[in-house]
Amino acid sequence: MSTPAYPPIAPTSAQQEAARTLHGLWIRRGRFAALPENIRPSTRRDGYAVQQAFEQINGQTVSGWKIAATSVDGQRHINVDGPLAGRIYQDRLLPVGATVSLKDNLMHVAEIEFAFRFAQDLPPRAAEYTVDDVLTAVASVHPSIEVPDSRYEDFVKVGTAQLIADNACACLFILGPSAADWKDFDYLNQAITVTLNGKAIDSGYGRNVLGDPRVALTWIVNELSSIGVTMKAGQFVTTGTCRVPVKVEPGDAVHADFGSLGQVGCSFSA
């Protein structure tokens, strides 16, 4: 059997300790200023090693993946120079129409996103995957809403490696119904209409997601390939918010209409 082009990361003892620290905050919905310097990741790869150790500690199925900072404005907001990948866990998935608790949530936003579910594995390899390679492996597309959060008190200051270690601000996620007929959708120009408490607010567009959510999808497949991680059949990827995150408070309700791809919505409580 040949050696994989990119073998999986093996977390160090310091990275495992960082993961345990973050996992404790994840469970109790707490936060702190930053990881202690002696266990703090300093590179993207270090951050992903902590994320890998976190998965092992958490013991939950990775149902999907998220991409953070898929717009220039988003990257500037959290002081990073490119997108970040994070895991979405099965126990943090909510049904369409759910009432989402904002208790202990620092960010108070809803992000309107395209999600792509895979029909086949895309394992690590030396050659980069193309957009066509990746789309060939897609089974369906879903409207979705992400409700992110951070384990850092001031997440805009901690930097790329610590944000990756913290699952790229992953928290709760609502995956809408599948749309099998997704190939002819106009991802760049079709308006995704959004309402807050029944009133229309600015629409979203796929072109706000790295120029095209299909490009973002390809980016994360190659990002995972470079750290020795397979994108697995059945997993989904939510490709990043297609409009400025919607600020929400308890009592609010958000709804997004993706046209032929379907609709998704949720409400918020204290």
pLDDT in tens, 169-179: 999 999 999 99
User: For position 46, what pLDDT does the model report?
Assistant: 98
Q: Name the DSSP class of 82.
A: S
Q: How far apart are CA 139 and CA 141, in angstroms?
A: 7
- Model confidence at 2: pLDDT above 70: no
Domains in the chain: ranges and CATH: 13-269 (3.90.850.10)
Q: How far apart are CA 153 and CA 203, in angstroms?
A: 30
Q: In whole numbers, what is the pLDDT of the chain averaged over residues?
A: 96
Q: Encoding tokens for residue 120?
A: 């086949």
User: For position 6, what pLDDT does the model report?
Assistant: 77
User: For position 7, what pLDDT does the model report?
Assistant: 81
pLDDT in tens, 253-263: 999 999 999 99
Position 92, amino acid: R
pLDDT in tens, 196-240: 999 999 999 999 999 999 999 999 999 999 999 999 999 999 999
Q: How far apart are CA 122 and CA 237, in angstroms?
A: 13
Query: HEC states along 192-244?
Result: EEEEECCEEEEEECHHHCCCCHHHHHHHHHHHHHHCCCCECCCCEEEEEECCC
Position 97, amino acid: G
Q: What angle do CA 166, 172, 177 make, to 5 degrees?
A: 135
By percentage, how much of the chain surpasses pLDDT 70? Answer: 98
Q: Which H or E run includes 48? A: helix 44-58
For residues 68 and 74, is the Cβ–Cβ distance under 8 A?
yes
pLDDT in tens, 59-84: 999 999 999 999 988 999 999 999 99
User: For position 68, what pLDDT does the model report?
Assistant: 97
User: For position 4, what pLDDT does the model report?
Assistant: 59
